Chain A
Amino acid sequence: KAGVTQTPRYLIKTRGQQVTLSCSPISGHRSVSWYQQTPGQGLQFLFEYFSETQRNKGNFPGRFSGRQFSNSRSEMNVSTLELGDSALYLCASSFGGLGTFQTYEQYFGPGTRLTVT
């Protein structure tokens, strides 16, 4: 099975611009989660999509948004970029499922390294 893929791998943007990152999950996985990793804050959960619906959301401003398509591919968008948005953005896919209060093993992509100047 092919792994989780993320595009682009590297990106340089200017303050005020917007950016869209893409994540293709492992075939058959319906859940896609997004995470931000910075040296200061470590890894932080952004949001999770399952069957095209946002199922969980972290504590990030509304400038961070996402969506999921019918083929489970997901995109995240950051509008009005700030210097502090420079980070490694990781997505992870899992089987997901409809079980209550369950956590599923996650498979991470290689990440997109975003630099905001």
Chain B
Amino acid sequence: KNEVEQSPQNLTAQEGEFITINCSYSVGISALHWLQQHPGGGIVSLFMLSSGKKKHGRLIATINIQEKHSSLHITASHPRDSAVYICAVGPEETSGSRLTFGEGTQLTVNP
């Protein structure tokens, strides 16, 4: 079993829909990251969180440390949100920037 699991693997939505991507992890963590990867490879860090909830524009990330679960929500989705969304965790016992990644969720938003 992977230490970080995401669901769903693939998601197709219509423009304007509310989207949720889930991430579960099995290890103690210092922080959880949500990343966005567009075709061509470039990765952008969307959120880093260790508790509660963060919001940036139409994106919301939540984490429940007790349940070892995080969600990424996209409100009013748009075709430009089409990308791979990756959940990654920094292990609790490690200093520095070592990350363990989920397999990613391919999101396609149709106009």
Contacts and interface: CB of A to CB of B under 8 A. Distances in A.
Contact of B96 (A35, A42, A56): A56
B73 to A, nearest CB: 20
Nearest to A110: B42
Nearest to A94: B97
B61 to A, nearest CB: 13
Interface in A59-112: 88, 90, 92, 94, 96, 98-108, 110-111
B53 to A, nearest CB: 17
Interface string B18-55: 00000000000111010100001111110010000000
A58 interface: yes
A64 B42 CA distance: 22
Contact residues of A: prevailing secondary structure: strand
Contacts of B33: 103, 105-106
B45 A105 contact: yes
A43 B8 CA distance: 18
Interface stretch (B64-72, B74-82, B100-108): B100-108
Contacts of A44: 101
Given A43-B86, A101-B92, A48 B43 contact: no
B98 interface: yes
Contacts of B43: 90, 92, 108, 111
Interface in A3-59: 31, 33, 35, 37, 42-45, 48, 50, 55-56, 58
Nearest to B86: A43
B90 A103 contact: yes
A90 B80 CA distance: 23
Contacts of B93: 101
Interface of B: 29-31, 33, 35, 40-45, 48, 86, 88, 90, 92-104
